Chains A and B, each alone.
Chain A
């Protein structure tokens, strides 16, 4: 019972962590160029462990665009239907940089804390 409870809490914590880093992950994925929604989702799944529910990613993309961090454009594709491509605006690039730097500092300071825990494995 106790193990189950800890396991559930652990999963909940992990889910919150993933959710919390989603905005940074999306901005980072778009750092190198334009991508459309499904490409962003596939990148998130392939390059990170962020298996995002599709229904979660699209509303976030819409919000980031509404906040002026992303710009978008419909582009005709060979698939026979146009696709909506996203890219970072200058303020989106600034936000991505701030988040990446904040994340680096944060994870470095936490790494020091968890090192003894990992060594005790």
Chain B
């Protein structure tokens, strides 16, 4: 009986060690709380018979990696939907993208939005060095925003306003993308659960 109990305890410890390792990215104190709760769940779920195995209980919880993935997604989506950090929003969108088409679409929205904002910003930084090549060019059915080579029949319309206008555009695109992602993540949480 002692051997059985020792084996059972070893299996529980192995499961929790696996879960701890798979919970990368979750804060230490949250991780400890999760491990404590799952340990309690396993102990409470064990049948009274001390000879009964722990396998059915662990099977019902699912593989440690799968359980950790669900915690990570929940935590990340909660944090990200309240965050204004593009990095956190992007990394969460990436994790979500690996779970399905909707997640992938959201990830693409985030990439397009932030890359556009970054592109605007780059042209602002380059404008003082290449004043004749960067601007808003119109004419003869052409409309080019950003960098372009010399073309016949087009002229630049923003002039010295290019930098403030484009900075506003970069800021607006980044803020718009951030708000769209936060909204999509909040909506996802309600839809998924």
- Residues of chain A at the chain B interface (Cβ within 8 Å): 19-20, 22-23, 36-38, 53-56, 58-60, 62-63, 66-67, 74, 79, 81-84
Contact = CB atoms under 8 A, between A and B. Distances in A.
A56 B71 CA distance: 9
A60 B193 contact: yes
A58 to B, nearest CB: 6
Interface residues of B, number: 29
B191 A20 contact: yes
Given A55-B67, A59-B74, A19 B193 contact: yes
Q: From DSSP, what is the main secondary structure of chain B's interface residues? A: helix
A37 B40 contact: yes
B91 interface: no
9 contacts: A20-B191, A37-B41, A55-B67, A59-B67, A62-B71, A63-B74, A66-B74, A66-B75, A83-B40
Nearest to B30: A62
A20 B193 contact: yes
B180 interface: no
